[in-house]
Structure 1
Amino acid sequence: MAVPVRRIDIHHHFFPAELNKAKSNERVGWYTPAENLPWTPEISLKFMDAACIDVAILSFPAIASGSVGQENRDQARHRNRAMADICRAHPRRFGFFATLPFLDDVEGTTLIFPRRALAEIAYTLDELRADGIGLSASYGDGANATYIGDDRYDPVWAELNTRAAPVFIHGSQNPSSTPYPHPFLGIPITEVPNETFKAAAHLVVTGRKRKYADARIILAHLGGSTPFLAARVAVLSGHMGCPLSPDDIMDDFKSFYYDTALSAHASTLTAMEAFVTPERILFGTDFPAASGEMVGWYTKNLEQFHSEDDEKLHNVMAANALNLFPRFQQPIIN
């Protein structure tokens, strides 16, 4: 029997074994649920079946620093091929956002970005049939981090715009000066959402969100602090020299898509309804970084918020995403 797509999870991570999440999480103050490690597609499929999720769009975690060079390029290619293999094995259950080599790639003293990134975009979208591209909010360490609205990344945005590609932006795991306030408030809890906001604001005030409007950019975690700080940027950045008007800036912030992963609550969803039009909200979970129980709490909030409007709930859960990823339009056959 054919049944319609119920839920599309556009924020679902791919954790390859070599990432060693149990170890790599120690420095950022977060513990991936033990039952999700070592991660396999079967762990995600079990969760998806229990959570009534028909499709998950895989993305590699936002890692924005490390050793540039051939090893990193090979890692990106290997990870993209691995995600493509999962999608081929389960074509109606998984899609993926391709990951790119570190954007500040060099050979000797020569910056070879964007050539490497453009090559990976072409390979993953044209040959591996990726559903979009995943980017980190910034690239580089600490004070040397460069946000993705920087001039040097313009060729990548031009290419993504030409292709009208879906682009998934996830906050970088950059520590603050603390590096985080408390063991209960690790970097993924407090810093990652703010990094997403900074990336979005950078794209807006540099004019790249407006210039490359055909690239369909999705911000993780309801954009972090974006809905609450956008109006601050609208006026104060003009005082600092931004040529865009406050209304232009607000319009550009409203043109992003926003996923609900680890963010859905009556307070945040009410703010989003006042901030963007309904088709801009997409369902996301952050599994396997989060447990099924954590995801369930946010999903319940989302369902309760739209309990009197089944159509709006369906749009958030699936229909809005189907407009971005139409290959999943075909009903699933049980």
Structure 2
Amino acid sequence: MNAPDAATGRIDVHQHLLPGNYLSALRRHGIAEAGGRALPDWSPEAAIAMMDEHRIATGVLSLSTPGTHLGDPVEARELTVRLNDAHAELVKDRPERFGMFASVPLPDVDAALEAIAHADDDLHADGVVLLANHQGTYLGEPAFDPVMAELARRNLVVFIHPADLPAAPVDGIPPFAADFLLDTSRAAFLLVRNGVVARHPNLRMILSHAGGFVPYAAHRMATGMALEAGRDITDVLEDFRTFYYDTALSGSPSALPSLLAFARPDHILYGSDWPFAPASAVTYFTDGLDKYLTSGAADPSASSAIDRTNAATLFPRLAR
């Protein structure tokens, strides 16, 4: 299958990589799944084959949960450097096909700041991936304020991916199916409630999976927040609208109306979630997205904006 046109193909902001040395580290810690799904096979060649099939010109790759901090802070620093350096080499070899959200070893704040500096100054990463919660501490909590301030100072794009909830799982409910959506919503709520969004208006943050419950529940969240803090509901809603939202696992006729009704039109980005979403799921939700956007239910310009234009504006390197 031919590669998509680099000037018109999709930009996928939610695509994962699982290099062999990361899988080895996970297995040393007895980790065989993420979010309730078995760790899938991955290779650059398989990624490109999937991308060609779905007209994806570029995939901005990130590590998924559990990230690089697996319990030992020394190991976490070393693993983060090793993985980010290898990721940067992959992008250097195929800059038209791959992008980079660098990993950071939170909840170790000092190590995270070092990783951010290395990723930006030396590796020229396209952005940074953060988990919604890192071992029970959520984005938006004061402990992570130095990290958010540094990301804002450097004007780095932040991709927020859910992790397992800091609570016991419920039998029969794999985390990816429901808990991940709550985890993302909790992080977004705290980032707004605790003023991170207001303090850093240039901080561009992408919420995975159409923002979890945020588009559907934003007015409810904003009402409670306004009552608590005496804020204007409209101002709170505007804070929630500063987030970007990807379409990973969300190209459905039930999720898309809420997303399109709430998010700013230029803040919606295509996402596949491959390889944790297998090829059949990528096809299902990508076809659903295409069908909905061409059905007359959305603005005619939404398709090209979500597929490419919005991400090209967010990542000027990829636009070139």
Q: TM-score w.r.t. structure 2 length? A: 0.90
Q: Where do residues 1-334 of structure 1 align in structure 2 (5 Å cutoff)? A: 4-20=7-23, 24-26=31-33, 28-32=35-39, 36-37=40-41, 39-63=42-66, 66-103=70-107, 105=108, 113=109, 115-140=110-135, 145-174=136-165, 176-177=167-168, 179-182=169-172, 185-239=173-227, 241-307=228-294, 308=296, 310-330=300-320
Letter in 2 for 1:266: P
Q: 1:129 to 1:171 in 2, by over 3 A?
A: same
Please provide the CA RMSD for this pair: 2.0
Q: Which moved more, 1:299-308 or 1:50-59?
A: 299-308
Letter in 1 for 2:76: N
Deviations 1:20-69, CA, capped at 9 Å, x for gaps? 3797344743235xxx51x1111101111111110000001132663142
Letter in 2 for 1:312: A
Secondary structure of the residue aligned to 1:266 is coil
Q: 1:175 to 1:123 in 2, by over 3 A?
A: closer
Letter in 1 for 2:103: T
Runs of 4+ with deviation above 4 angstroms = 25-28
- Provide structure 2 residue ranges, at least 5 long, that are not aligned to the other structure: none
Post-superposition offset of 1:311: 2.7
1:2 and 1:10 map into 2 onto residues whose CA distance is: 17
1:181 and 1:315 map into 2 onto residues whose CA distance is: 40
Contact map agreement 1:176 1:191 (CA 8 A) in 2: no
Deviations 1:195-221, CA, capped at 9 Å, x for gaps? 000000000000111111211000000
Post-superposition offset of 1:237: 2.8
Q: 1:27 to 1:245 in 2, by over 3 A?
A: same
Contact map agreement 1:6 1:314 (CA 8 A) in 2: no
Q: 1:243 to 1:321 in 2, by over 3 A?
A: same
Q: 1:3 to 1:232 in 2, by over 3 A?
A: closer
Letter in 2 for 1:47: M
Tell me: higher relative CO, structure 1 or 2? Use CA pairs within 8 A at least 6 residues apart: 1
2:66 and 2:33 map into 1 onto residues whose CA distance is: 15
Contact map agreement 2:15 2:271 (CA 8 A) in 1: yes
Post-superposition offset of 1:242: 2.6
2:126 and 2:5 map into 1 onto residues whose CA distance is: 24
Q: TM-score w.r.t. structure 1 length? A: 0.87
Post-superposition offset of 1:157: 1.3
Secondary structure of the residue aligned to 2:31 is helix
Letter in 1 for 2:266: E
Q: Which moved more, 1:302-311 or 1:4-13?
A: 302-311
Secondary structure of the residue aligned to 2:237 is helix
Post-superposition offset of 1:228: 1.8
Post-superposition offset of 1:70: 1.3
